[in-house]
Amino acid sequence: MADDRPLRTSLRIGAALTPLAMLAAACGGGGGDPADFPDDNIEIVVPFSAGGPTDTVTRMIAEPMSEELGVEIIIQNVEGAGGTVAAGQVAEADPDGYTVLMHHIGMSTAPTLYPDLPFDPLADFQTVGLVTEVPMTIIARKDFQPATLEELISYVEANEDKVTYANAGIGSASHLCGVLLQQAMGVKLQEVPYDGTAPAMADILGGQVDFMCDQTTNTTAQINEGKVKAYAVTTTERVESLPDLPTTAEGGLADVEVSVWHGLYVPADTPEEVVTKLTDALAAALEDQSVIDEMAKLGTAPVEPERVTPEEHTTVLEEQVASWGETLEGIEAE
């Protein structure tokens, strides 16, 4: 690419599920001197459907990151196998910084849930930095009988063979929250997996399934508009955007505490200079007031500035891989 080409600062959304290698070729790719990075478009791969909570977080930061880096950022949704399809593709991408993965807590659970995982989250990726920790909410179809979390617990215990629980597939945040819920209640529910939380939410709204657990970035509007019944938020403290929603501890499920942390990754062996530029752009995006305001509306916030580092991100990933390994022992994806 010519050095005198004007830098572009627009954000372009890619929706087609084309292989990343083909997309990179179409975009021109990078791969030059790391000191010149970036001199072409950057892809952020989201391993879940468009319109879902991880996709929402990605779109919040993509615009300011694009402006900071001076190139276009293309968001590519690559669904499948709880996020492992997308992660596997990024692990095999050129380590030049032009292919970036946005993933959530599922990055730390994949080694336990997928014994034949084609990548190692710790060895095959370089962390870029944490983005946000999103609370989860327990919600149900609007006409579901239980009115409070206490009533939900009693109802589920008495009707576990009839109650349906929606999730976005093995390894998704909604699946992990469901695991904790069932362990805490001592029940085994009829789980209904979907290809993402967007279609799962559609069936909650349509009354086809009973309840689910999902991130505030996907549920806050539905709750505030009265389209779903809400029972609790899965954090130690109530969230500002949903002040009337009790915590799980307040409602009798102290063992159900989970927030969904998100982070950016690039393939292992990506030059340190490139990683630093991506980290700096992420940090700048998370200090953008529009991003802060948008996240606040959806019940979350950027992580503290000192946590937007590869070192902090790696520490969290290592701890979470070990912790979820114990929690999910005996549970595997089919």
Report CA dihedral (218, 221, 224, 226) to the nearest 10 degrees.
-90
Q: Do 21 and 126 sit in the same domain of this protein?
A: yes
Q: Do 71 and 97 sit in the same domain of this protein?
A: yes
Q: Do 206 and 266 sit in the same domain of this protein?
A: no
Q: Do 118 and 188 sit in the same domain of this protein?
A: no
Q: Do 240 and 293 sit in the same domain of this protein?
A: no
How far is it, in rounded angstroms, from Cα 157 to Cα 155? 5
Residue 181 · residue 253 · CB < 8 Å: yes
Residues in the chain: 334
Average pLDDT over residues 303-308: 96
How far is it, in rounded angstroms, from Cα 45 to Cα 78? 7
Instruction: Kindly tell me the burial class for residue 330, based on how many C-beta atoms sit within 10 Å of its own C-beta (0-12, 13-18, 19 or more).
Output: exposed
**pLDDT attached to residue 248:** 96
- Residue that finishes a domain, picked among 251, 271, 299: 251
In a domain, 154, yes or no: yes
CA separation (Å) from 180 to 95, 177, 184, 194, 213?
36, 5, 6, 19, 10
Average pLDDT over residues 20-45: 71
Q: Do 161 and 109 sit in the same domain of this protein?
A: no
- The answer to whether residue 9 scores a pLDDT higher than 60 is no
Q: What is the span of the domain harbouring residue 216? A: 135-251
Of 115, 52, 84, 79, residue with least CA distance to 328:
115
| pTM, two decimal places | 0.82
Of 255, 259, 142, 157, residue with least CA distance to 203:
142
In a domain, 1, yes or no: no
Please state, for a pLDDT cut of 90, what percent of the chain lies above it: 74
pLDDT digits (tens, 9 = 90+) for 225-280: 999 999 999 999 999 899 999 999 999 998 899 889 999 999 999 999 999 999 99
Q: Do 128 and 269 sit in the same domain of this protein?
A: yes
- Strand-pairing partners, residue 103, are 263
| CA-only gyration radius of the chain, Å | 20
pLDDT digits (tens, 9 = 90+) for 119-143: 999 999 999 999 999 999 999 999 9
In a domain, 244, yes or no: yes
Q: Do 21 and 116 sit in the same domain of this protein?
A: yes
Helices in the chain by DSSP H: which ranges?
20-27, 53-69, 84-91, 106-113, 149-158, 173-185, 197-206, 216-224, 248-251, 272-286, 289-297, 310-327
How far is it, in rounded angstroms, from Cα 135 to Cα 242? 11
Token look-up 């080694």 returns 111
Q: What are the structure tokens assigned to 158, written together? A: 């008495």
**pLDDT attached to residue 197:** 85
Residue 83 · residue 195 · CB < 8 Å: no
Q: Do 177 and 312 sit in the same domain of this protein?
A: no
Q: Do 122 and 163 sit in the same domain of this protein?
A: no
Neighbours of 148 (CB within 10 A): 14
Q: Do 56 and 196 sit in the same domain of this protein?
A: no
- What domain count does the chain have? 2
3-state SS, residue 181: helix
Q: Which long-range contacts (CB under 8 A, 24 or more apart) does 286-290 make?
A: 286/61, 286/131, 286/132, 288/64, 290/64
- Residue that finishes a domain, picked among 225, 251, 277: 251
- Residue that finishes a domain, picked among 251, 284, 311: 251
Q: Do 130 and 143 sit in the same domain of this protein?
A: no
